[in-house]
Amino acid sequence: MKQGILSDKRGANGFCLKTCVQNYIQHLKQQIKGGVDDPVPNPNGDSPGINTDWHDARLAKMKADKMEIEVLKLLGQTAPIDMIMQLTADKGAQVAGILDGIPAKISRAMPDLPKSRLAIIEQQITKARNAATEPIDLEPYLASCFKYGDSEGMETDS
């Protein structure tokens, strides 16, 4: 048996549970302090051991980010994505309605305009209307933002 993980002392039915638990706890404490038999490498790779400073710094950054978001919410400078998408869709529908009325207004204002030119205008308006009502993909924008893309020192679950 490896010293420090399990005890060599045996009770009536095998290992003494109390001694095993105490030795295992001692072993874990030694790992956290960076003991010699620690299999977990430091993120910097310079010496074995769990780098608690790195984890503490990571936790502090996450807490600071959370507090910053809470402050922005209290100041009214943030909004839920669902609400932003709903407002954007509503504005797109409003713009689409205005664009739909343009060909009729043009034909009333210029009755002598050839149908072929009116058809070109209608095609371009249809393209603009479709672009205005298309759902917005926020992922490329968010990935390019400094705060969203700033993951230095952070682990990802991908």
3-state secondary structure of 157: coil
pTM value is: 0.43
Which residue from 43, 60, 39, 63 is spatially nearest to 51, judged by alpha carbons? Answer: 43
Taking the C-alpha atoms of residue 107 and residue 121, their distance in angstroms, rounded to an integer, is 11
Report the alpha-carbon distance of residue 75 to residue 70 in Å, rounded: 9
Give the pLDDT confidence of 3-13 residue by residue, as tens digits: 545 555 565 55
Taking residues 75-86, report their average pLDDT: 83
Q: What is the DSSP letter of 42?
A: P
Backbone angles phi, psi at 100, to 5 degrees: -60, -30
What is the per-residue pLDDT across 102-154, written as a single tens digit (0 to 9) for each?
999 999 999 999 999 999 999 999 888 888 777 777 777 777 765 544 444 44
CA atoms within 13 Å, Cβ hemisphere of 145 = 7
Domain boundaries, the chain: 1-39, 51-78, 81-147
Q: Say what the pLDDT of residue 158 is.
A: 40
pLDDT digits (tens, 9 = 90+) for 51-76: 678 788 888 999 999 999 889 888 88
- pLDDT at residue 154, as a whole number: 44
